[in-house]
A and B are shown apart, each in its own frame.
Chain A
Amino acid sequence: MTTTTKYAARLDNGIKTYGEGESAVHALNGATAEFERGHFTAIMGPSGSGKSTLLHCIAGLDSLTSGSAYIGDVDLSSLKDRDLTLLRRERIGFVFQAFNLVPSLSAEENILLPLSIGGKKPDEDWYGQILDTVGLRDRLKHLPAELSGGEQQRVAAARALVSQPEIIFADEPSGNLDSKAGAELLAFMRRAVKEFGQTIVMVTHDPNTAAYADRIIFLEDGKTVDEMYDPTPDSVLDRLKSLGG
């Protein structure tokens, strides 16, 4: 880890505007958030509240209209595409809702993708730990099409972990899974935080999913409006009701 700050990632008064003039949409409208190292943070909010946009901007996939996003103490707006790409490759991991895997590569090749893109070899110990945790040793040679949805997402999570990134971003990672497969995936992510000290930021709209996190940030109309520590499904539901009302 090359940074000394307390936060793995930070968003400061982020504004993201799509379109111009009359039709402009302020997907982010002055959102501010910090993500502490070793924490599992969930971002919640109604559909269209800007959750995905926030994630994209802070993960270096998209740029802010104004405000700043930091990974560690690196201001993302100061980076050119190439450096941004290298930063993603080395310091960030991703799990998306779907289409996480390259169909022509086997599960193992997919897991190792961030490393092979950088021409690196995996740390054998670490790789072994991940495989044990993710529990896919016997499926490694299979192509994504031959895996179930839950297995595919766990492969994606393993891939996000393999390069030991400072932070992992996940956008509705269990959104396409049934509840059992979703629970397995979330349990795996949680273990990554508890056992390996991984930092994870996850977007979700589901209280049960959010309850796996240490802390929840609530988003509304592009602004962070509330937060909550050590949530349970019920407490989340309550909070949502009060916010919505």
Chain B
Amino acid sequence: MIKTAIKSLFAHKIRFILTAVAIVLGVSLVAGTFIFTDTINAQFDDLLDDIYAGIDVSVRADAGDFGASTEPFPAEVLGSVLAVDGVDVAEGGVASISIQVLDKSGDPIGGQGPPTLGFSWGEVPSLSPMRIKDGGGLPPSGPGEVMLDANTVDNAGFVLGDEVTVIGFLGPEEFELVGIGSFGDQDSLLGATLVLFELEEARRVFGFGDEFSGISVQAVADVDADELTERISLVLPSGVEAVTGETEQDEQAADINEGLSFLSIGLLSFAGVSVFVGAFIIQNTFRIVVAQRTRELALLRAIGATGRQIRVMVIVEALFIGLVGSVAGIAFGFVMALAIRGLMNAGGFGVPADALVLLPRTLVVSMLVGLGLTLLSSLLPARKASRIPPVAAMREDAARTPRRSLRTRAIAGTAITGLGVLLLAVGLFASVGRAIIFVAAGAAIAFIGVSVLAPLAAKPLADVIGWPLPRLFGISGLLAKENTKRKPRRTASTASALMVGVALVAFFSVFGASTKASISDTVFELFPADLTFQSENQNDPELPAAISPAFAVDLETYDELSVVSAMQFGRVVIDGDQQFLGAVDPSTINQVFALQPNGDAVSALSQPGSMIVASGFLEKNGWKVGDIVTTEFAHSGEVEMSVVGTFEADEFSNIYVSTETFKANYQYVGDGLVFANARDGVGVAAAQEAISPTVDAFGNVKAQTKSEIVDELETQIDQALALFTGLLLFAVIIAILGITNTLTLSIYERTREIGLLRAVGMVRRQVRRMIRWEAVIIATFGAILGVGLGIVLGWAVVKALEEEGFGAFSIPVGQVVLALFLAALAGVLAAIWPARKAARMNILDAISTE
């Protein structure tokens, strides 16, 4: 039996290959994602090994719930540490992420790509991974000297002795490039820009006092790291802690892992869509194949095979394809990983071209996905195959199982769709944990439901879509249209695969368009300021990078500006949960930023140690104005803050304090946002012109008017849309392969018919045209379903987010039309191969009567 199964597979190579390709693509995305992130993880692990090779103990600020911290602590701690018995060497250093290097033309290096990291140069080689490259000058040894990593030096075209502009706490300054460094033996730390100064100079540039942000300790030969950590802990003042180097390395590894898991979850979601689409294709293929093999299977039944044996045979065939597809998918996953790496590097990340890492987990998951996908997809067709009656071997029409009635289909489809919509609604509207799972499952079930309903729409829609074809292409057009109506279920199922990808693209487009539609209102409402300044850097994905404090001070000197107001951002922990916190200048904020305070909440902020809270957040926590809330800061520890008022504009943060309070509780490194208004009588453009020397000097600060902010946000939305669409392209490609697959199988089925058409005089071009338009109808059908579903989903989500400021549901008509057009084009592409095959079909096959 199993031999029969495998033989039949090889007898139909093309069908085999096309089915396998759907699996290969889905699996390769899964495998590629794992391979890529595992490889990066391994690279980071190597890096961390380098960094921590000589560090037995690390002394740092005790940041409580914030985990590892770079908050500064008093420098005198070093003396106490050095005095501990068992310490061989110890060195303190400072670090900052609020630092920016400008290239020769005054533009910031790094931009939105990898971050810029500032360090003090460590004198003890065993405690620091930084090295001077051969011929790379000397380490920085005093004021005015800087060292950069070799990768940055190369990219920016610097040479030793160049004057390099670095913007730190005190604003832009010139430094002489005295050293070119490497990180371990790498020229770069994954593309980050590394800036090093001599310790005292680093403190000045980073805005530190007589402080360290960390002390690294090496133990004498026979003292164990744990033991030494304990001994050091005993001499540390409160607020400073000692951990083993290993602990800190593990913490960092866990952080990196978490950051990467964000990426891998994102990629895996898209891989999941592709696999889902693949399941449609594979199921459809098996179904068609079973139908085509009716006679053969019935013969097997007639000579004594049981229904069970037939079922097992079909499933074994499926599993074999799944096996081959999965193995090929894993192999192709390497290509995928290289492609992702290439994309990352094109985006400015210096991911080294190390050997790719294949973990056993990748193999297991990929095989499970590939085999599970095929197994599940083959169950229904296998069942159908097992029900073919033996007499079908003799009589062709005996195999026609009574069609499930339209009513049953309509009811089942509606029920499934309803279930999907229900789950979707729960995820969107009810506040449940892990809402995203509800949304994803709901969408998937809704897709299945619609695909069950789709055959009902296949005939009428094919008539509508295909309406012009007979008029335009005569008999080829008519036949194309009729052919798609012949097996509505097959047409619908093929189209449904495309529907999924198109629906998601349409959904994102609708979501994007609706966001754009409300963005302008939101921005104009929220930012009354004429000009908003922010850093072009992105060190922390959640908070704006700091602008040097010197910038706002400089702006104050311009007469053309009436108000300059800065905002800072940070994190706090309240009741064990991390929150964002914003800081404002109570005397000016109302002129530049619409907090929508209730009563005189903003002026109440002037009292030290007070905060105001978004009214929704206040309610959620069960607080009242006048309450005292214990708030934990990384820098100052637990502080009793009093709630002095409420506000409504919770777009950025649920909690605001005054800048003064902020400075008392954070290591103040700069401003997150700076706002300014032009003085009355001075136009915004004129003011912008006037302050350009300052803006230009701070190369990483960009000045934006309200409409420029809107433009930028819109561009970002477009970019995100393009990215999502790009990732969904895979699902669409799989769906197009599905159309190719279905057509190829249908043509095989219609050998006689096509031969007949050729015999009575249809030229090859007409045959090709017939197949092509058939594909176009299927593709357009899928796209119409997809666009419809995508718009409905988009509408639901926009409605769900109405309170968040999404008022305007908007359909991007242009994009929708484009999507339909591209889908039709995809149909043309999908048909190329089957059309050629059909046109080349041997006429004699048509009329041989067996």
Interface residues of A (CB under 8 A from B): 56, 61-62, 81-82, 85-86, 88-90, 93-94, 96-105, 109, 113-114, 116-119, 159, 171-172, 175
Contact = CB atoms under 8 A, between A and B. Distances in A.
Given A82-B763, A99-B752, A171 B847 contact: yes
B478 A96 contact: no
B760 A97 contact: no
7 contacts: A56-B844, A62-B844, A82-B763, A86-B761, A90-B761, A93-B760, A104-B483
A94 B760 contact: yes
B761 A61 contact: no
B479 A118 contact: no
Interface string B749-780: 00011001111111110100000000000000
Contacts of A118: 761
B293 interface: no
A89 B847 contact: no
A104 B475 contact: no
Contacts of B756: 96, 99-102
Contacts of B138: none
Contacts of A103: 486, 753
A81 to B, nearest CB: 7
Contact of A119 (B474, B485, B846): B474
A96 B761 CA distance: 15
Contacts of A93: 760
Contacts of A101: 756
A85 B844 contact: no
B847 A116 contact: no
Given A56-B844, A105-B482, A113 B760 contact: yes
A194 B432 CA distance: 85
Nearest to A53: B844
Majority secondary structure of chain B interface residues (helix, strand, loop or mixed): helix
A116 B760 contact: no
Nearest to A99: B752
A94 B759 contact: yes
B431 interface: no
A98 B761 contact: no
A61 B475 contact: no
Nearest to A55: B847
A61 B844 contact: yes
A113 B762 CA distance: 9
Contacts of A85: 758, 761-764
A214 B827 CA distance: 52
B849 interface: yes
A117 B766 contact: yes
Given A61-B843, A104-B486, A117-B475, A82 B764 contact: yes
Interface in B82-117: none
Contacts of A119: 474-475
A96 B847 contact: yes
**Which 8 A/B pairs are nearest by Cβ-Cβ distance?**
A89-B761, A104-B482, A116-B475, A99-B752, A96-B847, A117-B762, A85-B763, A114-B760
Contacts of A96: 756, 846-847, 849
B23 to A, nearest CB: 32
Nearest to A163: B761
A111 to B, nearest CB: 11
A104 B485 contact: yes
Nearest to A116: B475
Contacts of B761: 85-86, 88-90, 114, 117-118
Contacts of A116: 474-475, 478
Interface of B: 474-475, 478-479, 482-483, 485-486, 752-753, 756-764, 766, 843-844, 846-847, 849
A184 B846 CA distance: 25
Given A89-B763, A105-B479, 4 more contacts: A61-B847, A85-B763, A99-B752, A114-B760
A159 B756 CA distance: 12
B764 A117 contact: no
B159 to A, nearest CB: 69
A88 B756 CA distance: 11
A146 B478 CA distance: 20
B760 A81 contact: no
A94 B761 CA distance: 10
A37 to B, nearest CB: 21
Contacts of A56: 844, 847
A172 B756 CA distance: 16
Contacts of B478: 105, 109, 116
A201 to B, nearest CB: 15
A82 B762 CA distance: 9
A83 B760 CA distance: 13
A175 B764 CA distance: 30
Contacts of A88: 759-761
A90 B763 CA distance: 12
A160 B648 CA distance: 82
Contacts of B844: 56, 61-62
A175 to B, nearest CB: 8
Nearest to A91: B761
A156 B849 CA distance: 16
B475 A86 contact: no
Residue among B475, B485, B846 with the most chain A CB within 10 A?
A: B475
Contacts of B764: 81-82, 85
Nearest to B758: A85
Nearest to B849: A97
A164 B846 CA distance: 23
Contacts of B486: 103-104
Contacts of A99: 752-753, 756, 846-847, 849
Contacts of B482: 104-105
Nearest to B476: A117
Contacts of A82: 763-764
Given A61-B847, A102-B753, A104-B483, A86 B763 contact: yes
Contacts of B849: 96-99, 172, 175
Nearest to B485: A104
A113 B754 CA distance: 13
A85 B764 CA distance: 9
A117 B760 contact: yes
B490 to A, nearest CB: 13
A102 B757 contact: yes
Nearest to A62: B844
A172 B850 CA distance: 13
A88 B759 CA distance: 7
Nearest to A106: B482
A21 to B, nearest CB: 22
A36 to B, nearest CB: 24
B479 A102 contact: yes
Nearest to A81: B764
Contacts of A94: 759-760, 847
B128 to A, nearest CB: 77
Nearest to B760: A114
Nearest to B752: A99
A204 to B, nearest CB: 14
A105 B474 CA distance: 13
Contacts of A114: 760-761
Contacts of B766: 117
B777 to A, nearest CB: 13
A52 to B, nearest CB: 8
A159 B763 contact: no
B764 to A, nearest CB: 7
A89 B760 contact: yes
Nearest to B484: A104
B838 to A, nearest CB: 14
A114 B762 CA distance: 8
Contacts of B474: 116-117, 119
Nearest to B753: A102
A14 to B, nearest CB: 16
Contacts of B757: 102, 113, 117
A245 B483 CA distance: 51
Contacts of B479: 102, 104-105
A94 B483 CA distance: 23
A172 B847 CA distance: 11
Residue among A82, A104, A119, A171 with the most chain B CB within 10 A?
A: A104
